[in-house]
Amino acid sequence: MHNPFYKYCIFILITAFWSCKNDDITKEEELIKRDSCVNYIDSLQAVNKETSPAPISSLRSGNVAFGTLVYFYNDSLHHQTAIEISLDSGKTWLEKRCAEIRKTGAVQARYKNSTAESASTKLQFKVYYKRVLIIGNSITINGPLPEKGWMGNWGMAASDSTKDYVHLLSSNLKALNPEVDIVIRNYAEFERSYWWYNFNSLQTLTEFKPDLLIMRIAENTNKDNLYSFQAQYARFIKTLIAKSSAKVICTNSFWKGLEDADNIIKDVTIKDEYIYCDLSSLRNDPSYRAFKQFSDESVGSHPSDKGMKAIAELIAKNL
């Protein structure tokens, strides 16, 4: 048992065993290592829709985290052919090997060369989020103000914490992912003094790395002092998502009279490809506000339970 030659043979056998084990690494894992959503031409045989297999996928249909990558491949074909992916039910096809899942819906993949195409693989995904950041003002969360008759510590004017738009949205998010981490912040200070705002104060939220950012601010914006609002608003968002590839939803004001600020917010969403959620349909119905529940006008002008529900529903349509 102590023979050096015997020990050497055992070492060789173990090494050979683990070498074989490493050969068992799936082609999916190998492709993921050498292909980061950049298409390349495979050595594949001529594609025929009648006989060619559809591409193999790295995932099955189901619930996936926002930003998940799904890869497509097949090594059984041998002629130069590209993989194409469609995210809009086959209307548009792009040459690439993988897709980033950023919304609920279908993903299709096929092989194609200059003369033919294969059958397609079709997957259906439902997106959930892991880290959600909601930036708002008193409509989002506000501590007690006894002198105004407000005793809550949630979205102002909601009858209890479960009735504000944040908690209603949170229920939707948790239904998809019970472990979702939701951070809520009141940044009315940015609305009121955005022109000299200290963006370094956002570092902790940047490190949170949200995969969903909801910007629910506008109401406290100084409508007579908007000269740098667009640049600062855009910078605020970019600072928050500097270390992530988050989906961003921006709403306009719940109140009337801030149309200039609303237009600036909309311009930012168009330029930076964020989602614009329009709340203007809620402004003319007094039942969406809480004047009947609060004698103090500054509190009563906030959304009632009905208003909070309507805000949550409009935002939820974009999730």
Question: Do 172 and 312 sit in the same domain of this protein?
Answer: yes
**Domain range spanning residue 245?**
131-316
Instruction: Note whether residue 123 is domain-resident.
Output: yes
> Rounded distance, CA 34 to CA 37, Å?
10
Length of the chain: 319
Q: Measured in Å, how far apart are the chain's first and last C-alpha atoms?
A: 66
pLDDT at res. 311: 97
**pTM beyond 0.75:** yes
Question: Do 145 and 231 sit in the same domain of this protein?
Answer: yes
Total domains in the chain come to 2
Question: Do 84 and 189 sit in the same domain of this protein?
Answer: no
Q: Is 201 helix (H, G, I), strand (E, B) or coil?
A: helix
Contact 137, 220 (CB under 8 A): yes
Q: Where are the beta strands (DSSP E) in 204-303?
A: 212-215, 247-251, 275-277
Question: Do 123 and 149 sit in the same domain of this protein?
Answer: no
CATH of the domain at 231: 3.40.50.1110
CA 47 to centroid of chain Cα atoms: 36
> Rounded distance, CA 275 to CA 268, Å?
10
CATH of the domain at 61: 2.60.40.10
Question: Do 205 and 121 sit in the same domain of this protein?
Answer: no
Question: Do 173 and 272 sit in the same domain of this protein?
Answer: yes
Successive 10-residue mean pLDDT values, the chain, 319 residues: 52 45 38 45 46 81 93 66 88 90 92 82 94 97 95 96 96 95 96 92 96 96 88 97 96 94 96 96 95 94 97 94
Question: Do 306 and 209 sit in the same domain of this protein?
Answer: yes
